[in-house]
Amino acid sequence: MLVVMRHDAAAEEIQRVVSTIEELGYQARPMPGKQRTTVGLVGNDGRVDSSRLAALPGVAEIIHVTQPYKQVSREWKAEATLVRLAGGVVVGGDEVVVMAGPCSVESESQILAAAHAVRDAGATILRAGAFKPRSSPYSFQGLGRPGLALLKKARDETGLLIVTEAMDPEGADLVAEVADVIQIGARNMQNYSLLKRAGRLRKPVLLKRGLSATIQELLLSAEYILAEGNSDVILCERGIRSFDSQTRNLFDVSAIPVVKSLSHLPIIADPSHGTGHREFVQPMARAAVAAGADGLLVEVHPTPDRALSDGAQSLYPEQFERMMREVRLIAEAIGRRVAEPAGLGA
């Protein structure tokens, strides 16, 4: 439920709404807007008698959010959420933010080579997993803690921000020490204890769509994070399972405008896991930016043929460079621009 205040509501009137919500046994989330303040009521509001709130001075109207997800919905908040990262990088605004790097951290030389290559081509965030959720227990599981230390080194050396995956609640605490953005992968989209922990950590979260998740399920998972008080959530379309084996997943470009219509959260696209083959990554990256994606998550490896995971979908650095040139043109065509790494260009 949302309590919309009159545009001229006084601070005391807003405070009275907040304390009434709390007296009723719920949490109040005041959200000052450009025109007026709204106060969200957090909790199961099915049995709240809204007449008590509606009668308070300064209240313009009560809105019952119709979606099963509340705080992530456009009904709750009409304006786009801007997720502000270190170094002034903003996801969800005019700029398209590119996150690139190998699937996994494999060694110091590999991650540093990858970091320099993606930075030189214009990425602002380095992606790479230290903890890898692999479908087979016999596949490379990631370097773990030492991998995080290597990511920190890459950050220090290049100034790139870091996005890396956490697989469980304890791991999230560890990852939060190094990461600028905590990634929750497709296989963990419905790991509710991980979502709750990420919601309590004061770090931005990149939440990837589950292997067979509907858009509603993705938004409900994001709701878990917001419900814990963390609204810095970036959603990610990474393809869903389909009957066609020509691509690894069915990259759902339509999810981008659909999510934007339903939610104020930013959404980025991962054409690497979305297609599974490097030859299809560039066209789908272009499509995603054209469709309004707020960023891209792309796998790039200095030597993809020797990658320990996801080599077939990893771009060669020169392919990534070309992709960046193309997506800059597309971003400009729709009145946006690609964010530049600090110290390089505008």
**Residue 278 interacting with ligand PEP (CB under 6 A):** no
Among 103, 201, 225, 226, the residue binding ligand PEP under the rule CB under 6 A is 103
**Residue 238 interacting with ligand PEP (CB under 6 A):** yes
Cα–Cα dist 179/73, whole Å: 27
Residue nearest to Mn ion (CB): 103
Nearer to ligand PEP, 71 or 183 (CB): 183
Among 77, 119, 155, 208, the residue binding ligand PEP under the rule CB under 6 A is 208
CB of 103 to ligand PEP, least distance (A): 5
CB of 134 to ligand PEP, least distance (A): 8
Residue nearest to ligand PEP (CB): 185
Q: In the structure encoding, which two tokens stand for residue 143, read together?
A: 């370097």
Nearer to Mn ion, 59 or 163 (CB): 163
Backbone angles phi, psi at 297, to 5 degrees: -120, 115
Report in angstroms the alpha-carbon separations of 31 from 39, 40, 121, 201, 297.
6, 8, 39, 21, 30
SS3 content of the chain, % helix, strand, coil (to 5): 40, 20, 40
**Residue 185 interacting with ligand PEP (CB under 6 A):** yes
Report in angstroms the alpha-carbon separations of 166 from 4, 65, 126, 148, 221.
37, 31, 15, 11, 15
CB of 127 to Mn ion, least distance (A): 9
**Residue 271 interacting with ligand PEP (CB under 6 A):** no
* Binding at 186: pick from Mn ion, ligand PEP, none (beta carbon under 5-8 Å per type): ligand PEP
> Looking up tokens 């690894």, which residue turns up?
248
Contact positions vs Mn ion (CB under 5 A): 103, 310
* Binding at 119: pick from Mn ion, ligand PEP, none (beta carbon under 5-8 Å per type): none
Cα–Cα dist 154/149, whole Å: 9
Which residue, 239, 318, 325, 329, is CA-closest to 284? 239
Q: What amino acid occupies position 185?
A: G
Maximal C-alpha separation, the chain: 67
- Residues β-bridged to residue 268: 236
CB of 57 to ligand PEP, least distance (A): 49
Stretch that binds ligand PEP, among 58-66, 92-100, 148-156, 180-188 (CB under 6 A): 180-188
**Residue 197 interacting with ligand PEP (CB under 6 A):** no
Number of H helices, E strands in the chain: 11, 15
Stretch that binds ligand PEP, among 9-17, 80-88, 106-114, 183-191 (CB under 6 A): 183-191
Q: Binding string, 104-143, against ligand PEP, x = CB under 6 A?
A: -------------------------x---x----------
Angle between helices 192-200 and 215-227 (to 10 degrees): 40
Q: Using CB under 6 A as the criterion, which residues of the chain lie in contact with ligand PEP when the complex forms? A: 103, 129, 133, 185-187, 208, 238, 273
